[in-house]
Amino acid sequence: MSAFTVALDGPAASGKGTIARAVAERFGFAHLDTGLLYRAVGARHLAGEEPIAAARALVAEDLERDDLRSSDVAQAASIVAVIPEVRAALVDFQVAFARRAGGAVLDGRDIGTVICPEAEVKLFVTASDVVRAERRYLELIAKGEDVTRESVLEDVRARDARDAARDAAPMVAAADAVTLDTTEMSIEDAVQAALAEVRAARG
């Protein structure tokens, strides 16, 4: 099969990661969580490295660190993601991944707008910030992180604001993206809606 790209963009904890994994599994596509790239750069920055150098030196093992899902690393990721040279260092890998043979699903903030504007399917997955913060809070608590509902909501809002306001590849729905608001949807229903979009585009 030739290239077929599913671009899943949206804010933190909107459900796009779960949807991306389900689409990849159902259609046999490769999956790239592009947030992990920025998180890996953020983690190296927290460890003292200059962000642009860290982005240029990123290696596969950086994506396997077990602290990448922490809230500190999430904030650091959104701080380094503002820097155009950091983003530029990560573009080629993502573009090649998006157009690999056999199909690919990428989730992030700028997949449908910058990385793969020609994607066959573009979804912008969103939900209210309170609902997203609650989902993230439950995930972090389950992993044993010491967080409160208030602190997670504050983190989500800070990250949303930074991601939407930056000049370089801001988080925005592509003009031709289908918006999926999961505020009042179960994750199963959101997955089914996304699968239907992909099926329709595959013809």
Binding region for ligand C5P (CB under 6 A) out of 43-51, 56-64, 71-79, 190-198: 71-79
- Nearest Cα to Cα of residue 100 among 36, 35, 33, 30: 30
Find out whether 94 and 119 touch, Cβ atoms under 8 Å.
no
Where b means 16+ CB within 10 Å and e means fewer, 72-83 reads ebbebbbbbbbb
Residue 97 in tokens: 């991944």
Where do we find the tokens 């910030």? 129
Which position among 12, 40, 125, 156 is part of the footprint of ligand C5P (CB under 6 A)?
12
| Residues within window 74-93 making contact with ligand C5P, judged by CB under 6 A | 74, 77-78, 81
Q: Is 155 in the site for ligand C5P (CB under 6 A)?
A: no
Whole-number minimum distance, CB 81 to ligand C5P, in Å? 3
Find out whether 157 and 165 touch, Cβ atoms under 8 Å.
no
* Residue 2 vs 43, nearer CB to ligand C5P: 43
Q: Is 123 in the site for ligand C5P (CB under 6 A)?
A: no
- Nearest Cα to Cα of residue 12 among 150, 144, 108, 147: 108
Binding region for ligand C5P (CB under 6 A) out of 51-59, 72-80, 123-131, 194-202: 72-80
Binding region for ligand C5P (CB under 6 A) out of 31-39, 44-52, 174-182, 194-202: 31-39
Q: Is 39 in the site for ligand C5P (CB under 6 A)?
A: yes
DSSP states along 4-20: -EEEEE-STTSSHHHHH
Distance CA 126, CA 94 (A): 22
Residue 183 in tokens: 């505020």
Q: Is 45 in the site for ligand C5P (CB under 6 A)?
A: no
Q: Is 97 in the site for ligand C5P (CB under 6 A)?
A: no
* Residue 77 vs 121, nearer CB to ligand C5P: 77
- Interface residues with ligand C5P (CB under 6 A) are 12, 34-35, 38-39, 74, 77-78, 81, 108-110, 159, 163
